[in-house]
Amino acid sequence: MRLSETPPRGWDERIAFPLQSVGYAHAACALGHRPLFAEDQHGIALVLLRRVPIPMLRGWTARAKVYAHVRDAVFLRALVEHLRALGVSHVRFGDAMWGVTGSGARDWRALQRVTYHAFVNDLRLSDAALLARVRAPVRRDIRRGLSSVVVSDVRTATDLRDYMALAAQTGERMREHDLAAIYPEAYFEAILREMVPRRQAAMFIARADDTPVAGGLFMISTDRFVYLHGCSTRDRALTPKQGPSAMFWHAMRSARAAGCSVFDMGAVTPTDDPSHPHYSVYEYKKGWGGQLEAVHSSELVVSRSKYRFQEFVLVPMWARLHPLYLRLFGDPHPGAPASIVGAARRLLR
């Protein structure tokens, strides 16, 4: 297996999903991850390592997220052994957006299965057929949004500034419910600079006149258009304009134009409890008439002692420590190859 600090030549031509791309590796640096590129005849993976690079803690805090496409489970076993040698205590394979794919992904019984859920819409249908599946209140919101706002691609520094202002407002709302939502501007800058021109990602901004009201970030593969991040205004005078509904409808039509057959509205937590913090999101996405699908990922505890330390000591404090971690250890200028090399070398020292 080749495990390298820099992407091998032609990497993006061989990946299975944009979360494996060089551009996303650069974006992940802004989140405090350190990327490595793994490949052999049995599979390909982007590895995102995270640890607290302080002498007393670095040996006890290393974890990895892996976006892998495999042809044989031997690839995952070999990769885990490399990560074990780097001191990694826990490996997560995939997430709510994209699980491990390939013919051999389920052949390793040591992996603990993790299941997420997402609503998906069939873009092979016409606009009229899609709208016929949408609940009446959502159809009304779409019509109101289309008459009140204009949705366009995020392309310029001004567009990104407006998007980030909305993201800050959304983050404040989430923190009020004890939900973490930390995405620094450098993360979106890297995606806009590298992934959007390669048609691996799309960013949209909805405005009422010149005022931004909603935004969304999507990953694009050969057949799927997948919702990664969204934001909207807190201004009660603007929320009736239904910017998010106009943005999602615009994204659906853009996805079809890009040749995608599946529109993935992103992770949901199925619940009938109105007091649940995720209930409103679940009900909103359900109202678009998509089918609820399971997204299968997995995880593996590599070192039980280190994992227990992290679960009992670090994880409970993570929501409060995460912003500080990003300020101290996130790469404020991800994107240049030297940035990845330097980050990986610091990690491997």
SS3 category, 277: coil
Mean pLDDT for 319-345 is: 53
What is the model's pLDDT at position 325? Answer: 56
Which of 137 and 324 is assigned the larger pLDDT? Answer: 137
SS3 category, 31: coil
What is the model's pLDDT at position 322? Answer: 59
What is the model's pLDDT at position 348? Answer: 35
Looking at residue 94, the DSSP 8-state letter turns out to be B
For strands 291-301 and 34-40, give the pairing. unpaired
Q: Is pLDDT above 70 for 177?
A: no
Please tell me the distance from the alpha carbon of residue 349 to that of residue 344, in angstroms, as a whole number: 9
CB 2 within 8 A of CB 41: no
Residues 32-49: b if buried by 16+ CB within 10 A, e if exposed: bbbbbbbbbebbbbbbbb
C-alpha dihedral over 147, 288, 290, 92, to 10 degrees?
A: 100
CB 270 within 8 A of CB 48: no
* Cross-strand bridge partners of residue 46: 37, 67
Query: CA distances (Å), 152 to each of 52, 69, 196, 202, 249, in order?
Result: 39, 33, 14, 10, 12
Please give the share of the chain, as a percent, with pLDDT higher than 90: 71
Cα-flanking dihedrals φ and ψ of residue 65, to 5°?
Answer: -110, 135
Cα-flanking dihedrals φ and ψ of residue 94, to 5°?
Answer: 80, 180
**Contacts by 210-215 with C-beta closer than 8 Å and gap 24+?**
211/238, 212/162, 212/163, 212/165, 212/166, 213/149, 213/166, 213/238, 213/239, 213/241, 213/243, 214/149, 214/166, 214/243, 214/244, 214/246, 214/247, 215/154, 215/162, 215/163, 215/166, 215/167, 215/247
Q: Is pLDDT above 90 for 217?
A: yes
Establish how many alpha carbons lie within 13 A of residue 164's alpha carbon, considering only the half-sphere containing its beta carbon. 14
Q: Is pLDDT above 90 for 56?
A: no
pLDDT classification of 234: cutoffs 50, 70, 90 = confident
Cα-flanking dihedrals φ and ψ of residue 166, to 5°?
Answer: -70, -40
Which of 41 and 56 is assigned the larger pLDDT? Answer: 41
Please tell me the distance from the alpha carbon of residue 252 to that of residue 265, in angstroms, as a whole number: 10
What is the model's pLDDT at position 345? Answer: 38
pLDDT classification of 344: cutoffs 50, 70, 90 = very low
What is the model's pLDDT at position 349? Answer: 38
**Mean pLDDT comparison of 56-70, 74-88, 299-313, highest-scoring range:** 74-88
What is the model's pLDDT at position 79? Answer: 96
For strands 224-232 and 262-268, give the pairing. parallel
Q: Is pLDDT above 70 for 316?
A: no
For strands 90-93 and 63-70, give the pairing. parallel
Q: Is pLDDT above 80 for 58?
A: no
Q: What is the mean pLDDT of the chain?
A: 88
Q: Is pLDDT above 70 for 88?
A: yes
